[in-house]
Structure formats: structure tokens, C-alpha cells
């Protein structure tokens, strides 16, 4: 198994943290991982990306030229992800910020698009900043790349010190994304 994922969104949505946590979970599950972040010069608002590979075998390069999956957190990231995603690849879209009606038919025809109302789900959980963790859960569910069976104990190593107070809420957000069945796949 090898899952090559591109995460993209605007600065401040936690894209880099999402990639870091995705590969950290993979590492804790005994997978081989790579993480390659990219962000513009803007502190907030510019496009942030992370290329992540989770694999059962050695990873020859951290550079992803063709991804098997993509997480799209905002409208500006839609084309960025479409440019690197393999035909038929999985595109999980934050439908709270990217309504299905705004996704071009060419993208819907080319990829398996899964809408997840990540921002709305995170808001219901009490903090829209956890939308990235909702997407992590959705990605695990739809790719099967990670099991996330013991997610709380895994994340204890990531949420240390003052971040410890955020652990439970982030676990709830991941589980909400993993179990979310409120969306339909428009192109299945």
C-alpha cells in the first residue's frame, strides 16, 4: 500500500499541521512516511500545501508528481490539487467552503469527489479551527491508509505541553470526520 496525498488550503487552516499529524499517525502505525510542506511568503491567507506519503514499503522520493488523493480546504486550492491528482483519484473537498455547485464538471468527471462539511462539523464541535482534523478522519476513512484505532494514545505524543488541553477535542473532530455519513458522492 502506498498513499500519496496532497493537502491544500489557505494559510491559517492548519494544512501543515494536518500533514504533520497524518504522517505522525502513519509512523505510529508502523508505516513509512514522508512529509514535504510548502507555503507562500504570506503569514495567513496564502495557499499552504503539504505533500505526504504513507506506505508499507520504502518511499523513493518525498516529491509527489502524481497524487492518489487530495484534501481541498478552500476554493483556491481546487485547481492546485486537480493539477497533481491522478485521473480517478480521490478528492475530499471541504464543502463548507467549496460548494459542490462551484466545482467544475470536468473535475467531477475526472476524480472521485467526496464532499465533507468540515468547517460546519468543526463549528458544531465548538471550534472551526478543527476542520483540518475532521478532514484527517474523512481521509483515513476513504483511503484506508490509516486505521486510527488508537488515535488518542497516538496523538498524546503530538499534543504535548500546553497543547495537551486540545487533545480530546481534536480526537473528537477526527472521529467525527471518520464517521461522517451526511454527504453523498456526486459522481458515484
Q: What is the mean pLDDT of each run of 10 residues along the chain (188 residues)?
A: 94 90 93 89 74 94 93 95 96 96 96 96 94 96 91 84 86 92 55
Domain boundaries, given as residue ranges, for the chain = 2-179
Please name the CATH architecture into which domain 2-179 falls.
3-Layer(aba) Sandwich (3.40)
pLDDT of amino acid 166: 85
CA 186 from centre of chain: 19
β-sheet with 32-39: strand ranges across? 32-39, 47-55, 2-10, 67-72, 85-94, 112-116
Amino acid at each position: 500500500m502506498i498513499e500519496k496525498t496532497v493537502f491544500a488550503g489557505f494559510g491559517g487552516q492548519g494544512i501543515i499541521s494536518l500533514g504533520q499529524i497524518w504522517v505522525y499517525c502513519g509512523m505510529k502505525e508502523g508505516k513509512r512516511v514522508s512529509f514535504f510542506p510548502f507555503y507562500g511568503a504570506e503569514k495567513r491567507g496564502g495557499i499552504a500545501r503539504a505533500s505526504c506519503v504513507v506506505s508499507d514499503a520504502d518511499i523513493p522520493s518525498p516529491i509527489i508528481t502524481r497524487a492518489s488523493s487530495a484534501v481541498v480546504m478552500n476554493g483556491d486550492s481546487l485547481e492546485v490539487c486537480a493539477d497533481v491528482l491522478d485521473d480517478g483519484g480521490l478528492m475530499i473537498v471541504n464543502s463548507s467552503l467549496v460548494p459542490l455547485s462551484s466545482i467544475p464538471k470536468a473535475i467531477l468527471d475526472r476524480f472521485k469527489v467526496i464532499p465533507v462539511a468540515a468547517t460546519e462539523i468543526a463549528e458544531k464541535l465548538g471550534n472551526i479551527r478543527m476542520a483540518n482534523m475532521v478532514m484527517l478522519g474523512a481521509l483515513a476513512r476513504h483511503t484506508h491508509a490509516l486505521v486510527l484505532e488508537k488515535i488518542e494514545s497516538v496523538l498524546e505524543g503530538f499534543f504535548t505541553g500546553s497543547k495537551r488541553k486540545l487533545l480530546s477535542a481534536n480526537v473528537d473532530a477526527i472521529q467525527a470526520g471518520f464517521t461522517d455519513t451526511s454527504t453523498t458522492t456526486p459522481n458515484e
